[in-house]
Amino acid sequence: MEGTIQKISFSKKPIPLPADYRPLYKIAQIVLILKLVCRSNSSKLLKLHLFSWALKSEKNRAELRDFINSNFTNDFSVWGIEPTLNRALHISVAEEICSYSNGNYTLTEKGNELYELIANDVEILSFEKTYLSQIGKNKITDSRLNKITAKWTLFNA
């Protein structure tokens, strides 16, 4: 039969993948977030998404920084929820980099070892380390996050 498709084949072609979509990059970010901005190196999913969103661009980092510097009085709207972060969290738990219990992700001993490797290399994730260190552990608490999300409406999403 002329003009009909008789065979379909696919061949895998190498394509560049932005760092933001690479699981190892996201896992390293998770480790930094848990270690540098979360009390007891433990966090709920929403806080991890907040900081992952902030690390995506200078605009997002500035927005979160301004919100904190205003003593949480500036308007702050919905932040992004990333499937790549969720995937990296699943891998992190499977690889025992962090554990998951009672709604919290917590850095494990293996995660702390990974943090030390990242922290001791001045070239790896340098701006992320600086930014998260400046935020510190006591600025964004779960109760503050709950107050922010309580204000979310359909008009903000």
* Pair of tokens at residue 99: 């554990």
> H/E/C letters for each residue in 10-68?
CCCCCCCCCHHHCHHHHHHHHHHHHHHHCHHHEEEHHHHHHHHHHCCCHHHHHHHHHHH
Which residues have CB under 8 Å from 65's CB, separation 6+?
134, 135
| pLDDT tens profile 133-144 | 999 887 887 778
Cβ-in-10-Å burial (0-12, 13-18, 19+) of 115 comes to buried
Distance of CA 95 to the CA centre of its chain: 17
| pLDDT tens profile 83-96 | 889 999 999 999 99
Overall size of the chain counted in residues:
157
The rounded distance, in Å, linking the Cα atoms of 50 and 152 is: 14
* Pair of tokens at residue 121: 């290399």
pLDDT attached to residue 138? 74
> What would the mean pLDDT of 77-83 be, rounded to a whole number?
78
pLDDT attached to residue 31? 96
pLDDT attached to residue 13? 65
> What would the mean pLDDT of 37-55 be, rounded to a whole number?
93
Contact in structure between 30 and 88 (CB atoms under 8 Å): yes
Q: In terms of pLDDT, which residue wins out, 4 or 99?
A: 99
Contact in structure between 135 and 37 (CB atoms under 8 Å): yes
Mean pLDDT of the chain: 84
| pLDDT tens profile 89-128 | 999 999 999 999 999 999 999 999 999 999 999 989 998 9
The rounded distance, in Å, linking the Cα atoms of 152 and 83 is: 20
Share of the chain above pLDDT 90, in %: 48
